[in-house]
Amino acid sequence: METILVVDDTPENLMILTDILKPFYKVKVANNGIKALNLIAAGHIPDLILLDIMMPELSGYEVCKKLKSDPFTRSIPILFVTALTEGKDEAEGLSLGAVDYITKPLNASIVLARIRTQITLLQYQRNLEQKLAERTEEIVHTRMEVIRQLGRAAEYKDNETGTHILRMSAYAKIIAQKIGLDTARTELIFLSAAMHDIGKIGTPDSILKKEGALSLEEWEIVKEHPLQGAEIIGNHQSALLQTARIVALTHHEKFDGTGYPYGIKGHDIPLTGRIVAIADVFDALTSKRPYKEAWSMEQAVAYLEEQKGKHFDPELVDAFLSCEEEIKAIMEQFKDAEKLT
10 Å CB burial of residue 315 (0-12, 13-18, 19+) is: middle
The strand pairing partners of 28, in sequence order, are 5
Average pLDDT over residues 136-153: 62
**DSSP states of 228-259:** HHHHHH---S-HHHHHHHHHHHHTT--TTS--
What's the pLDDT at 72? 84
| Whole-structure pTM value | 0.62
Q: For residue range 270-284, what is the model confidence (pLDDT) as tens digits?
A: 999 999 999 999 999
Distance in angstroms (rounded) separating the CA atoms of residues 59 and 55: 5
| Superfamily holding 3-131 | Response regulator (3.40.50.2300)
Average pLDDT over residues 36-42: 92
What is the CATH T-level fold of the domain 136-333, as seen in this structure?
A: Hypothetical protein af1432 (1.10.3210)
What's the pLDDT at 151? 60
Q: For residue range 279-301, what is the model confidence (pLDDT) as tens digits?
A: 999 999 998 876 678 899 999 99
The DSSP code for 202 is: G
The CATH 3.40.50.2300 portion of the chain extends over 3-131
Are 104 and 82 in contact by the 8 Å Cβ rule? The answer is yes
10 Å CB burial of residue 273 (0-12, 13-18, 19+) is: buried
The CATH 1.10.3210.10 portion of the chain extends over 136-333
Distance in angstroms (rounded) separating the CA atoms of residues 50 and 35: 14
